[in-house]
Amino acid sequence: MRRFWLPLALLLALSIAWLPTVSYTEDQDAILLARTIYALARDESYDTKLAIGTVVMNRVDSAWFGDSLTEVLTEQMQFPQGNRYDDDCLQAAHAVLSGTRTLDRSALYYQSIGAAEPYSEKTRIASVGGYAFYTSNGRL
């Protein structure tokens, strides 16, 4: 019986060691943003991922939205929340959190290009991948 438990304990210890953990490069903000980018743009280009991240950070910097990344991303009906992310989305999240911006700071809204009801009260300022990016008329 003892021969059975020792290999089982060793297998359990090794499997725990291989589980993904948050390292110093994967802080909670980066993971939260990567999950949002993945939920919206997992099948899109890296440029689209950066554009989605830019809109999020533009909102953090805007007086009209929450003051923190968590406040912006958890605002009701604004950004989807997922539990998954990949290396590409995490890389985009790190880039955006480090200051990379691919859209003007006035880009505060996004919408799928194929949306049934395109924004009419907002000004379209860019299209990247499958998304259109907007600013409110007169609102920076």
Instruction: Assign residue 131 the CATH number of its domain.
Output: 1.10.10.2520
Domain annotation covers residue 6: no
pLDDT, position 77: 85
Domain annotation covers residue 8: no
How many domains, in total, are found in the chain?
1
Read off the pLDDT of residues 43-87 as tens digits, 9 standing for 90 and up.
999 999 999 999 999 999 999 999 999 999 999 888 998 899 999
Domain annotation covers residue 111: yes
pLDDT, position 124: 92
Instruction: For the chain, give the percent of residues with pLDDT over 90.
Output: 66
pLDDT, position 59: 96
Q: Is a pLDDT exceeding 60 seen at residue 105?
A: yes
Domain annotation covers residue 15: no
What is the residue range of 51's domain?
Answer: 23-136
Rounded average pLDDT over 106-124: 90
pLDDT classification of 24: cutoffs 50, 70, 90: very low
- Answer with the residue of higher pLDDT: 5 or 68: 68
pLDDT, position 140: 44
Give 125-129's long-range contacts (Cβ < 8 A, gap of 24+).
Answer: 126/51, 128/45, 128/47, 128/48, 128/51, 128/102, 128/103, 129/41, 129/44, 129/45, 129/47, 129/48, 129/51
Taking the alpha carbons at both ends of the chain, their separation in whole angstroms is: 70
Domain annotation covers residue 1: no
Domain annotation covers residue 91: yes
Least Cα distance to 93 among 13, 23, 38, 14 occurs for: 38
- Answer with the residue of higher pLDDT: 57 or 116: 57
Q: Radius of gyration of the chain from Cα atoms?
A: 19
CA distance 2 to 12: 15
- Answer with the residue of higher pLDDT: 92 or 9: 92
Could you write out the DSSP letters of every residue in 19-88? S----TTS-HHHHHHHHHHHHHHTTS-HHHHHHHHHHHHHHHHSTTS-SSHHHHHTSTTTS---S---HH
Q: Which residue has the tokens 């009906």?
A: 77
Does the pTM exceed 0.85?
Answer: no
* Summary mean pLDDT of the chain: 86
Domain annotation covers residue 101: yes
